[in-house]
């Protein structure tokens, strides 16, 4: 920090103390009753009221937030000069050549849109593009879904999966009598924050069993049994992130019966429809089972992965209600959540999706490109499994091919992960999650070597 | 403000097969957007929509700027472009260019790296993210908003976690600025309170402070340690000149103090539905700006993770290219000039009609909107009898007028003013 800045910051005795305390990592604020260190850096540090007077910054006590753990992996990867580095961090699809992919059908749809001189850029309605909403509901619930035909579904366009979860969460915090949401342990790192900021309180239910590297089904049922009536339950529709462990259809049926008997409210996160198995209907089975029993649920849909529209932020929140009348009222209240957040959603990505979904030929082309992505990932799983078996790597690595979707929860511990990053330039999240989409036939051997070394040298 | 949900959710809702949302009440239609809903339902061939503030051509059509179409073509035809996630803070080029646009390329704040800029969803998103940041990190949780202001402002800030108070702004007797009331109210605000300022073309009144008045506002706010939060939705669109419309913001930045600015490209680049905007926080030091930016990410990530790429790419493409930028300024000025032209035509038509009262506010007010001064009854009358659609506060969007429809509006105003008091 330059001298001038330092003087500006330390212009008063009170602030000097505050700054000193900050450098010592000690919580010092007029509102705190002790000098106990806090320190989750993302917590609110009570701002010092005189910050700003005497020429100092009113934000002088704002602490540097830690890098997002998932996105931080790519930041570290980018800094690494090694020619053998592999990025298995963020869940974005990569081709066999390690490149991002824009689907052909997406390029075609975009060309059609941009070359249409009659298209304008007016505000969408608060609820988004109507066609997109209807088509999205059909995609996830099935075109013949009674819920849709009975007009019991309200669908609003949101900003990808995150935006759909946030809007749904805020709606529930305002209009549902139970403000607790149960999320699986583990889950996507951003889930707890999304729901907390939406105004819900977050609890967890058992999900992953590290000993089997599979589902801890008994404890899952026990935990949900103990949840209070009306509690919200977050369910990953398929391809659980980060573990790749999904319930079987039988297990889903048991989960459904339990949830319905306890009056729990399901909130599905569907980020991988079609991307997990290569089949759009198969990946929507869990959701459709719940909708088929006539009960209510929420669904957050993302087109980031299955249409490769990541940065366009395209998604939809659907709320399946008991009646059309309720659905209408619910939709009107969803608008009151969205309008003060960003007024109305972005037009471009949703237009691409609608263009594809409503055209038979483009829809078909999409399913073909989607299956190709899913198949490549399944192939990478097999190749990695085979490579580890060939090396005689100790342990059972069958979870590599049993787990579903973009991610594999390797079961590697933090020390092993750190070792692999340091010695082999393999980048992944510290929980041992690897993105299979980031692998290629060329890099599988290097990863297998790294895992083998980590497992044999570090316990 | 009427309660949105007066009935508490019932724990018994959902039992015995009922809906858990049985007690959710139908929310009222958004007052501003509801105008267009009503307009669309009207079968009259002479209907005029002066509701939502979206630009219309002389032919009454929406406009996509030529330079925007060109930029979009460049982007979509570039085979090397991908659709990967942007960083949480958005497109870096877009952020830098946006800061330069509003603060001036030579702004010391920028050169000293004291500005944290994050891409957000147009003006609304920028206000919401800024509000949430302040609610978490700033010691004063009250924001003062002008009376009147854009209908969505109170809700944005309330949901961000701030408490909302108002300061006097519009004087109905002069149809101008209640400057004394404004200064008195800001003087009475607690030190450190946040103050929302419309950078130019105040919405809904079109009444802006003069540069002298801005200077007095600035001195008062700095002496009271009040924190300025600018809403800049009309840069270039109000006067036709990008620098002139940024004067108020730049005066505050020039004194070395801190402020927030929400920028929207909805109107000045016609990118409405693409949701392109930026939140900038001007800080005392580069170190503070870095820390502030890191905390802004913690607001954005749990809201929507990262912002949409398309609109921001269009803006960046235009702003970074000399020729595209120049073409933009010409198209922008043409839109602003047409609106100023409509103001003059309406004023002349009312004067030719021998309208009682002083209608000079029509040409004094600035930007897309005119606060006619008509009351709710008069507005209802104009909608019913003349099929003129506007918000019930008497605000009309000049962008929705054309030479062809000015006479009809004049008739309607004349009738409303002479028949109803």
Contact B25 A166 (CB under 8 A): no
Instruction: Identify which of A57, A110, A344 has the shortest CB distance to residue B283.
Output: A57
Say yes or no for a CB contact (<8 Å) between A326 and B292: no
Residue with tokens 């026990």: A222
- Indicate the pTM of the whole model: 0.92
Active site residue B61: no
Can you tell me the distance from the alpha carbon of A215 to that of A255, in angstroms, rounded to the nearest whole number? Answer: 13
The pLDDT value recorded for residue B379 is 96
Chain B positions in Cβ-Cβ contact with residue A65 (cut-off 8 Å): 291, 294-295, 297-298
Q: Which one of A188, A252, A366, A397 is the catalytic residue?
A: A188
Answer whether A62 sits within 8 Å of B20, measured CB to CB.
no
In a mutagenesis test of the A interface, which of B59, B125, B139, B233 is the best target, namely the one with the most A β-carbons within 10 Å?
A: B139
Residues in chain A: 459
Q: Inter-chain contact B13–A177, Cβ cutoff 8 Å? A: yes
In angstroms, the Cα distances linking B153 to B124, B127, B136, B215 are 8, 8, 19, 24
Which residue is closest to A194 within chain B, CA to CA?
Answer: B302
Beta carbons of A58 and B304 less than 8 Å apart: no
Contact (CB, 8 A) for A312 and A142: no
Instruction: Quote the pLDDT of residue B29.
Output: 84
Distance of alpha carbon A239 from alpha carbon A4, whole angstroms: 53
A431's torsion region: left (phi>0), alpha (psi -120 to 50) or beta? Answer: alpha
Could you tell me which chain B residue has the CA closest to the CA of A164?
Answer: B304
CA distance A156 to A94: 30
Contact B303 A102 (CB under 8 A): no
Q: Catalytic site residue A269?
A: yes
Instruction: Report d(CA A119, CA A131) in Å as an integer.
Output: 15
User: If you search the block for the tokens 């691409």, which residue do you land on?
Assistant: A352
Q: How far apart are CA B194 and CA B187, in angstroms?
A: 12
Lookup: tokens for A203: 């609890």
Backbone Cα Rg of chain B: 22
C-alpha dihedral sign at A391, A392, A394, A400: positive
Chains A and B form CB pairs within 8 A to the count of 280
CA distances from B65 to B49, B95, B328, B398 (A): 21, 21, 8, 19
Neighbour-count burial of A442, counting CB atoms closer than 10 A to its CB (0-12 exposed, 13-18 middle, 19+ buried):
exposed
| Chain B residues within 8 A of A11 when measuring between CB atoms | none
In the beta sheet, which residues pair with residue B397?
A: B369
Which residues 6+ apart lie within 8 Å of A397 measured at CB?
A384, A385, A388, A389
Cα–Cα–Cα angle for A45, B277, A310, rounded to 5 degrees: 85
Residue A290 vs residues A266, A285, A287: alpha-carbon distances, Å:
8, 9, 5
Q: Please tell me whether residue B119 adopts helix, strand or coil conformation.
A: strand
Of A51, A177, A342, the CB nearest to B11: A177
Chain B residues closer than 8 Å to A125 by CB? 33
Tell me which of B185, B214, B267, B328 is the catalytic residue: B267
Backbone angles phi, psi at B3, to 5 degrees: -65, 140
Residue B241 to residues B122, B246, B329, Cα–Cα distance (Å) = 20, 9, 8
CA A195, CA A166: separation in Å to the nearest integer? 6
Beta-sheet strands, E only, within A257-399: 265-270, 297-302, 315-320
Q: How many angstroms separate the CA atoms of B189 and B144, rounded? A: 8
Distance set, CA B139 to CA A57, A199, A414, A417, B335 (Å) = 12, 21, 39, 41, 41
- What is the value of ipTM here, to two decimals? 0.94
Contact A296 B14 (CB under 8 A): yes
Q: Is the dihedral of CA A111, A115, A121, A126 positive or negative?
A: negative
User: Cβ atoms within 10 A of the Cβ of B44, count?
Assistant: 9
Give SS3 for A422.
helix
Half-sphere exposure for A37 (CA within 13 Å, toward CB): 9
Rounded to 10 degrees, what is the CA torsion of B125, B130, B132, B135? -160
**Residue in B9, B124, B266 nearest the CB of A177:** B9
Residue among A44, A158, A326 whose CB faces B19 most closely = A326
Q: Is B231 a catalytic residue?
A: yes
Residue to mutate among A343, A369, A406, A437, with most B CBs inside 10 A, is A343
Q: Tokens representing B317?
A: 């493409």
- Parallel, antiparallel or unpaired: strands A407-409 and A426-427: unpaired
- B64 contacts A120? CB cut-off 8 A: yes
Which of A333, A341, A345 to probe by mutation at the B interface, max B CB count within 10 Å? Answer: A341
B220: distance to nearest CA of chain A, Å? 14
Do A56 and B301 lie within an 8 Å CB cutoff?
A: no
Query: Is there a contact between B290 and A5 if contact means CB atoms under 8 Å apart?
Result: no
pLDDT of residue A52: 55
Q: How far is CA B327 from CA A322, A434, B322, B332, B333, in A?
A: 54, 48, 9, 9, 10
**Residue of B73, B90, B283, B310 to mutate for A, most A C-beta atoms under 10 A:** B310
Distance from the Cα of B36 to chain A's closest Cα (Å) equals: 11
The pLDDT value given to residue A23: 45
Nearest to A195 by CA among A168, A177, A220, A228: A168
DSSP β-bridge partners for residue A269: A236, A300
- Structural element, H or E, at residue B157: helix B153-160
Neighbours of B18 (CB within 10 A): 16
pLDDT in tens, B374-414: 999 999 999 999 999 999 999 999 999 999 999 999 999 99
d(CA A134, CA B401): 34
In angstroms, the CA A279 to CA A370 distance is: 8
Strands A180-185, A232-236: pairing is parallel
In angstroms and rounded to an integer, the radius of gyration of the C-alpha atoms of chain A is 24
Catalytic residue among A27, A223, A305, A397: A305
- What parts of chain B have a pLDDT lower than 50? 1-7
pLDDT score for A33: 36
Q: Which residues contact B221 (CB under 8 A, 6 or more apart)?
A: B186, B195, B228, B252
CA dihedral of A180, A182, A183, A184, whole degrees rounded to 10: 170
Q: Which residue of A has its CA nearest to B120?
A: A342
- What is the bridge-based pairing of β-strands B142-147 and B115-120? unpaired
pLDDT for the residue B12: 53
pLDDT tens for chain A, 459 residues long, are: 444 444 444 444 444 444 444 444 444 444 433 333 333 334 444 454 545 555 789 999 999 999 877 778 988 999 999 999 999 997 899 999 999 999 999 999 999 999 999 999 999 999 999 999 999 999 999 999 999 999 999 999 999 999 999 999 999 999 999 999 999 999 999 999 999 999 999 999 999 999 999 999 999 999 999 999 999 999 999 999 999 999 999 999 999 999 999 999 999 999 999 999 999 999 999 999 999 999 999 999 999 999 999 999 999 999 999 999 999 999 999 999 999 999 999 999 999 999 999 999 999 999 999 999 999 999 999 999 999 999 999 999 999 999 999 999 999 999 999 999 999 999 999 999 999 999 999 999 999 999 999 999 987
State phi, psi for B398 to the nearest 5 degrees.
-65, -25
Q: How many residues does chain B have?
A: 421
Phi, psi dihedral angles at B286 (to 5 degrees): -65, -35
């Amino acid at each position: 920090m330059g001298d001038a800045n330092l003087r500006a910051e330390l212009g008063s005795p009170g602030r000097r103390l505050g700054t000193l305390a900050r450098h010592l990592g000690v919580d010092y604020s007029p509102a705190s009753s002790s000098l106990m260190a806090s320190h989750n850096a993302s917590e609110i540090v009570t701002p010092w009221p005189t910050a700003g007077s005497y020429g100092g910054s009113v934000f002088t006590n704002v602490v540097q937030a830690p890098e997002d753990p998932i996105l931080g992996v790519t930041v570290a990867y980018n800094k690494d000069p090694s020619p053998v580095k592999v990025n298995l961090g963020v869940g974005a699809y990569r081709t066999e050549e390690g490149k991002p992919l824009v689907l052909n059908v997406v390029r075609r749809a975009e060309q059609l849109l941009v070359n249409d001189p009659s298209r304008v850029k007016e505000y969408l309605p608060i609820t988004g593009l109507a066609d997109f909403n209807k088509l999205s509901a059909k995609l996830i619930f099935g075109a013949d879904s009674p819920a849709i035909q009975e007009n019991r579904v309200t669908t609003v366009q949101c900003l990808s999966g995150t935006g759909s979860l946030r809007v749904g969460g805020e709606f529930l915090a305002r209009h549902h009598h139970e403000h607790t949401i149960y999320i699986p342990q583990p889950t996507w790192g951003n889930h707890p924050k999304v729901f907390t900021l939406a105004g819900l309180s977050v609890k967890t239910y058992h999900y992953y069993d590290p000993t089997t590297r599979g589902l801890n089904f008994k404890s899952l049922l026990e935990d949900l049994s103990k949840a209070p009536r009306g509690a919200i339950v977050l369910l990953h529709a398929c391809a659980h992130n980060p573990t790749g462990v999904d319930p079987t259809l039988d297990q889903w049926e048991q989960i459904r019966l339990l949830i319905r008997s306890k009056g729990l409210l399901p909130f599905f996160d569907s980020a991988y429809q079609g991307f997990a198995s290569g089949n759009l209907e198969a990946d929507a089975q869990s959701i459709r089972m719940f909708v088929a029993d006539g009960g209510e649920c929420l669904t957050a849909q993302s087109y980031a992965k299955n249409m490769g529209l990541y940065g366009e932020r395209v998604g939809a929140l659907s709320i399946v209600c008991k009646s059309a009348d309720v659905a209408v009222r619910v939709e009107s209240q969803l608008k009151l959540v969205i309008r003060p957040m960003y007024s109305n959603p972005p037009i471009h990505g949703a237009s691409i999706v609608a263009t594809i979904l409503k055209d038979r030929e483009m829809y078909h082309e999409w399913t073909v490109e989607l299956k190709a992505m899913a198949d490549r990932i399944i192939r990478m799983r097999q190749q990695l499994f085979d490579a580890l078996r060939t090396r005689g790597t100790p342990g059972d690595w069958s979870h590599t091919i049993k787990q579903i979707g973009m991610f594999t929860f390797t079961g590697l511990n933090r020390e092993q992960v750190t070792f692999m990053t340091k010695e082999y330039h393999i980048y992944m999240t510290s929980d041992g999650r690897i993105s299979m989409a980031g692998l290629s036939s060329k890099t599988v051997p290097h990863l297998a070597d790294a895992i083998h070394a980590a497992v044999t040298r570090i316990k």
